[in-house]
Chain A
């Protein structure tokens, strides 16, 4: 049954996904792409992204997943460094 917007926001607020868990999920997805195409994500990103070869559903998603993985990883470390600086 469709949720109201209030219920929708409550459902999201009540969850407890940590940054580490999010990184682990994205990492698992990257591994799935790597296994499927027998190619490391770093190599894929260097060779394929930005070229016409990127224009397939999997490659578009793989590129987004790769960028998101690093964005999340970076934010985790910047928070930890900040916390270390305060301590």
Chain B
């Protein structure tokens, strides 16, 4: 339990941002609206948010982990892992902030070290660290796959 209701409020606000983002970007959400408050409640006690949600008719999943900390009355993202999974729950892309990569697959320094993204080919790419950018990229991949399958059929 957090000792400070201000800290709980900060976590709830962060979770609202994520909820708003996901529900704006993806329409194919089954139980998300019902299940999400329970995930937020756990996050507000443990400072750890986990979401695994099916987001498209093709069976794509979004798997999000965020770990929170506090400094100077502000919420800080201590760690995160954002994953787009296929219907077999295999990773397609993943973003995280583990400091094990300093350069991208072309040998250029990461623009926002330690934030980086493992792309569809498993290559290391620069990434801003913003969940908004990850969700945008995931959405583009899903749209492109849907277009490809329409064209081929």
Q: Which residues of A contact B (CB under 8 A)?
A: 1-3, 5, 8-9, 11-12, 15, 17, 19, 22, 25-26, 52, 54-55, 57, 60-61, 63-65, 67-69, 71-72, 75-76, 79
Contact = CB atoms under 8 A, between A and B. Distances in A.
A78 to B, nearest CB: 8
Nearest to A64: B67
A76 to B, nearest CB: 7
B46 A26 contact: yes
A70 to B, nearest CB: 10
Nearest to A68: B48
Interface string B32-55: 010001101110111110100000
Given A22-B42, A71-B46, A57 B19 contact: no
Nearest to A52: B100
Contacts, number: 80
A65 B49 CA distance: 10
26 contacts: A1-B33, A5-B16, A8-B16, A8-B37, A11-B37, A12-B12, A12-B40, A12-B44, A17-B41, A17-B42, A17-B45, A19-B45, A22-B1, A22-B45, A54-B98, A55-B98, A57-B83, A57-B94, A60-B81, A61-B65, A64-B65, A67-B78, A68-B67, A71-B46, A72-B1, A75-B3
Interface in B64-117: 65, 67, 78-79, 81, 83, 91, 94, 96, 98, 100
Dominant secondary structure at the A interface: helix
Contacts of A1: 33
B63 interface: yes
A78 B74 CA distance: 22
Contact of A79 (B1, B23, B33): B1
Contacts of A19: 1, 45
